[in-house]
Amino acid sequence: MIYTRFSKGSLKMANYTLAPEDEYDVLIEGELESAEAEQCDKYDAQVLSAQLVPSLCSAVFVIGVLDNLLVVLILVKYKGLKCVENICLLNLAVSNLCFSLTLPFWAHAGGDPMCKILSGLYFVGLYSETFFNCLLTVQRYLVFLHKGNFFSARRRVPCGIITSVLTWVTAILATLPEFVVYKPQMEDQKYKCAYSRTPFLPPEETFWKHFLTLKMNISVLVFPLFIFTFLYVQMRKTLRFREQRYSLFKLVFAIMVVFLLMWAPYNIAFFLSAFKEHFSLSDCKSSYNLDKSVHITKLIATTHCCVNPFLYVFLDGTFRKYLCRFFHLRSNTPLQPRGQPAQGTSREEPDHSTEV
């Protein structure tokens, strides 16, 4: 009797201990893993990239190179480089050319030297464009405040050259961190130029990612937005009494506004993606939406490198006139004697546009 009761008790205890253990194993291996697989799918940028990126980058590359080269040619041949504004516009076109030259190589980064060259051109073009936009806005502000003596005929070209050189040096120095940390990374059996921690950097990768993100947001979004807002408010206080002077700022302000509108969404999405832990956006759905937003807004911002020449055509009557004259002379060589007055007007017109 005692033996029988003991065996029954042991059977009951065995049933009691084994059954829940089996159920626990089923929960871990089955339901939890399937739930993670369903909820934490990462955004696959290859789907959109395979359909859109090659054709978009090719189109932007061709348009950006051609129209910015046309701007350089018209500025040098017709408008002249005897005022700071035209020198800044020339450098702005060169910045867009540097940026455009990187677009055909986005799909394949190649080796380490190629990756560094592409990342260097990409960020130098972006930062220099930002700084020259700010320089143009400040130049218009000084002209508006009758500080034109600073840009007098004797000082105009040397001042523009020195300022341009300093701006390019600043843009190159701002690009050095990206030049160091960007290396080719293997993704989906292809090399892509991306962030990679170098041996001499500290092991905290998040620090450098946050640093690069903040540097880009401050340089490309916060700084130009502050310059534009501050100077525009200051000029609007005087524009009540000088409405006729608005045409002096129409083109420069349009260039800055379009730049901010096209680059601000990418900078905001990139900032939220880098600091998503601080904004409680680390869950699967938020991470998926942030990755998608960063990819799409970057494609939109990329197209900006070919937009400025269209603004010149629509908002600058002088540029339109020289553009028509350029194609007229190129297609009809007997009208070449008319190029003589064109050079004469090109020498006078920049001074007029700066001192009106």
Q: What is the CATH number of the domain that holds 128?
A: 1.20.1070.10
What is the predicted pLDDT for the residue at 221?
95
What is the predicted pLDDT for the residue at 207?
77
**For residue 147, which amino acid is it?**
K
Structural domain contains residue 267: yes
Structural domain contains residue 25: no
Domain of 113 in residue numbering reads as 67-355
Structural domain contains residue 29: no
pTM as predicted: 0.78
Q: Are 266 and 293 in contact (CB under 8 A)?
A: no
Helical packing angle, 84-100 and 112-144, nearest 10° = 160
Number of alpha carbons in the 13 Å side-chain half-sphere of residue 120? 13
What is the predicted pLDDT for the residue at 242?
56
Structural domain contains residue 42: no
Terminal-residue alpha carbon distance, the chain: 117
What is the predicted pLDDT for the residue at 185?
67
What is the predicted pLDDT for the residue at 307?
95
Structural domain contains residue 103: yes
What is the predicted pLDDT for the residue at 335?
38
pLDDT means per 10 residues in the chain (356 residues)?
Answer: 45 45 44 49 66 83 95 91 89 95 73 78 94 92 67 67 94 89 66 61 68 92 95 75 61 93 95 88 85 90 94 90 80 40 38 37
What is the predicted pLDDT for the residue at 246?
61
Distance of CA 248 to CAs 235, 239, 321, 352, Å? 12, 11, 17, 11
Tokens of 288: 């998926």
Distance of CA 71 to CAs 49, 67, 309, Å? 31, 6, 7
Structural domain contains residue 32: no
What is the predicted pLDDT for the residue at 187?
62
What is the predicted pLDDT for the residue at 341?
40
What is the predicted pLDDT for the residue at 173?
94
Indicate the length of the chain as a whole number.
356
Structural domain contains residue 199: yes
In the block, tokens 């002077």 appear at: 245
Domain count, the chain: 1
Tokens of 350: 């920049």
